[in-house]
């Protein structure tokens, strides 16, 4: 079965513990979202596909307020995740509209300062959110390493914006 990145996000999250689609989305929003997002519109169809392929299994349905089906990895799902992790990453894509606008700012030079300021504010706010996650004790092991990577990258990017703004 050919798996897409959202499938691997789901398999990775379920390798930690059984989760519902809602739980996966909530976890994504405070972790991988800063470098790899997944929406409800991607998660729920992918959970169905993974279940049909035998990579995840239903754990049962919660009773109470909203009914949420929890999923867990099957043995085949564990194998698929391990196989994917063993492969060298193919993509290191970065998409940044602020950098794209700066790249073309010679067409409207007065926009560069505004773009740099918006980009700086974005990175500072991201650092604040990541530090809040860090201080909340949500990261551990390799997830904590990635969290620290995010903090350091966004701190550097905010500083770069400040330095470039001074050079304008």
Q: What length is written for the chain?
A: 168
- Give the domain ranges of the chain: 5-86, 97-167
At 93-110, the pLDDT tens digits run: 888 999 999 999 999 999
Which tokens is 96 given? 């940044």
Taking the whole predicted model, whether its pTM rises above 0.85 is answered as no
**CATH annotation of 5-86:** 1.10.10.10
**One-character DSSP codes across 9-35:** HHHHHHHHS-EEHHHHHHHHHTTGGGT
Per-residue model confidence as pLDDT tens digits over 4-62: 999 999 999 999 999 999 999 999 998 998 888 999 999 999 999 999 999 999 987 65
**Backbone dihedral angles phi then psi of residue 167, each to the nearest 5 degrees:** -80, -15
């Amino acid at each position: 079965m050919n798996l897409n990145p959202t499938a691997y996000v789901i398999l990775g999250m379920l390798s930690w513990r059984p989760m519902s689609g809602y739980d996966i989305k909530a976890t994504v929003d405070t972790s991988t979202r800063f470098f790899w997002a997944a929406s409800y519109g991607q998660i729920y169809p992918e959970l169905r596909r993974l279940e049909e392929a035998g990579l995840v299994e239903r754990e049962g349905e919660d009773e109470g307020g909203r009914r949420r089906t929890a999923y867990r990895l099957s043995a085949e799902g564990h194998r698929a995740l391990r196989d994917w992790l063993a492969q060298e990453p193919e993509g290191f894509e970065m998409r940044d509209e602020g950098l794209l606008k700066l790249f073309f700012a010679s067409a409207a030079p007065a926009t560069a300062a505004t773009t740099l300021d918006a980009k700086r504010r974005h990175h500072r706010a991201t650092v604040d959110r990541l530090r809040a996650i860090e201080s909340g004790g949500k990261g551990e092991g390799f997830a904590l390493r990635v969290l620290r990577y995010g903090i350091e990258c966004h701190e550097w990017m905010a500083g770069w914006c400040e330095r470039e703004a001074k050079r304008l």
